[in-house]
Structure 1
Amino acid sequence: MSPLAPISPWPPEEPAAPYPDLPVAKEVYGLLAVLLTYLAFGAYLVWAFAPSHWLDAVGWTWYPSREWAIIMPCWLMVVVLLSYWSYTALTAFLIPGFHSPSSVTDKHSNMPPEVLGAVPYYWKFANADTVPEAVDLPIDLVNRVLYPPRPRPRLRS
């Protein structure tokens, strides 16, 4: 077949490796985790809802007090909510303030020098044939473009 044919891959692809006959350890551990989780949840439901004499008849003679069937899920929900709130508070605490320069720039910024000679660097880009270099714009320039000065409204008296 010609390399120019539309159905021929070019360069030729390597044949796929045969699928291993034995399962990978991750698959086995994942299956065991799922099965043990279902088994533990089933045991929890039996312990929480089955009458005591049924459990004694099966041979399950020791089990915690039934009040733990309510306490543990409530406690786990509170722990999950507290972890969400804690991570949210930690994130809010670690955010730099508005006055911090790190809220507008970081170590990866490509900030141009303020002045090239006596002319500010961004004035040279005003020519139509000049292509500006890839730099981060300073926040004062961005603010002047986005929020130009406006005259104050005069109050009528």
Structure 2
Amino acid sequence: LQVTWPYTLRTMATDKIPYRSRAPEFHGFVAWTSTALLFVLYLLWALLPDDYIVWLGIRWYPNREWAILFPAWTVTLVLFTYFAYSMLAVARTPSFSDMCSIRDRHSKFQQSNLSLSRHDPFIAATKPDAPPETYDMPIGMINRILYGAP
């Protein structure tokens, strides 16, 4: 590849142009088109009177109540799925009295050897005009900040 001004790329005769399949484009087009067609058929089935459907040559079709029931059941299923996932997350959350809600194997506590670290290691580790690095704070420090308890 040769790069020339203004940012144009020229390939050498020996360079191979990578082949990129266009199958995803065709699959996306077919999926979009078939979805639109099915939606139009659904609307025609739900809204046309029986005489027109029979006139089109269709002798059997599902009961019209499914035009309302299917979307209602789908919405109910989606809402139930949201509720079930949120309840699973709540069930898997440890209680406040559990030690793993305070500290676990992913905890990262600050290691400081500065002279001010004996007073407050988080203040000692900061540089002027810079935010401190991200660390987990010890539970004792949280209690001192929130409740003023030693």
- State the TM-score, normalized to the length of structure 1: 0.65
Asked if the contact 2:94/2:101 (under 8 Å) is kept, the reply is: yes
Q: Which of 107, 117, 130 matches 1:125?
A: 117
Q: Deviations over 1:81-101 (max 9, x none)?
A: 111111111111111111122
**Alignment correspondent of 2:137:** 137
Question: 1: distance between equivalents of 2:88 and 2:98?
Answer: 18
1:9-46 deviation line (CA, Å, top 9, x unaligned):
9xxx78388x9998622222112111111111111111
The residue number in structure 1 matching 2:81 is: 83
Aligned-residue CA RMSD (Å): 3.7
CA drift of 1:131 comes to: 5.0
Letter in 2 for 1:52: D
Count of matched residue positions in the alignment of Structure 1 and Structure 2: 130
Secondary structure in structure 2 of the residue aligned to 1:109: coil
Alignment of 1:22-41 (within 5 A): 24-41=22-39
Q: Distance in 2 between matches of 1:105 and 1:25?
A: 49
Considering Cα pairs closer than 8 Å and 6+ residues apart, tell me whether 1 or 2 has the greater RCO: 1
Change (3 A) 1:70 1:109: same
Letter in 2 for 1:60: I
TM alignment of 1:1-80, pairs within 5 A: 15=9, 24-80=22-78
Aligned-residue identity in percent: 33
Counterpart residue type for residue 34 of structure 1: W
Where in structure 1 do 4 or more consecutive aligned residues deviate above 3 Å? 19-23, 121-124, 130-136
Task: Write the letter of the residue equivalent to 2:138.
Answer: P
- Does residue 148 of the first structure (1) align with residue 142 of the second (2)? no
Structure with bigger gyration radius: 1
Alignment gaps of 5+ in structure 1: 1-7, 114-120, 150-157
Contact 2:114 2:124 in 1 (8 A): no
Letter in 2 for 1:125: S
State the Cα distance separating 1:56 from its structure 2 match. 1.5
Aligned partners of 1:45 and 1:16: how far apart in 2? 52
SS at structure 1 position matched to 2:94? coil
Aligned counterpart, 1:102: 100
Name stretches of at least 5 consecutive residues in structure 2 with no aligned partner: 12-16, 127-132
